[in-house]
Amino acid sequence: MAIKQLKNVSNIPSSELDDWGAVPEPVSEQISQLRGLIINENPDGSEAGIWECTPGIWTRLVMDAEISTFMSGHALFHPDDGETIDIKAGDTVYFDNNSKGTWEVLETIRKAYLTYKRD
């Protein structure tokens, strides 16, 4: 079993995260940029890591189930079939598989996440 630890994740400089480029489906003129670190990746495509996103509005494309704990920033998630979720540092959010909606990142956000396959 491999155990991996990242210390003081909320204080890792953005420049030390991998550049993942622009979000693939922006909705606003301000295009969010993604950065992160993959801590573990499995053959089925599930993964754990750190994710950071700059302000902008875009369509969520991850269709796996996901649990995330937000360490910094502020965002709104507008589910296609529910009420808007206001997300701030310290919040944990669970997305069931096939959760569709729109991200509205108001202040650069950073989260620790785990995605996984769920039938």
At position 95, the amino acid (one-letter code) is: F
Q: Would you tell me how many other CB atoms lie within 10 Å of the CB of residue 32?
A: 22
pLDDT digits (tens, 9 = 90+) for 4-54: 888 999 999 999 999 999 999 999 999 999 999 999 999 998 999 999 999
Cβ–Cβ under 8 Å, residues 114 and 67: yes
> β-strand 56-59 against 65-79: which pairing, if any?
unpaired
Q: Alpha-carbon distance 89 to 84, whole Å?
A: 17
- All structural domains of the chain, each given as residue ranges with its CATH number in brackets, are 17-116 (2.60.120.10)
Tell whether pTM > 0.95.
Answer: no
Side-chain-facing half-sphere of 103: CA atoms under 13 Å = 29
- Token output for 108: 């650069």
pLDDT digits (tens, 9 = 90+) for 66-95: 999 999 999 999 999 999 999 999 999 999
Residue whose pair of structure tokens reads 């956000």 in the numeric block: 109
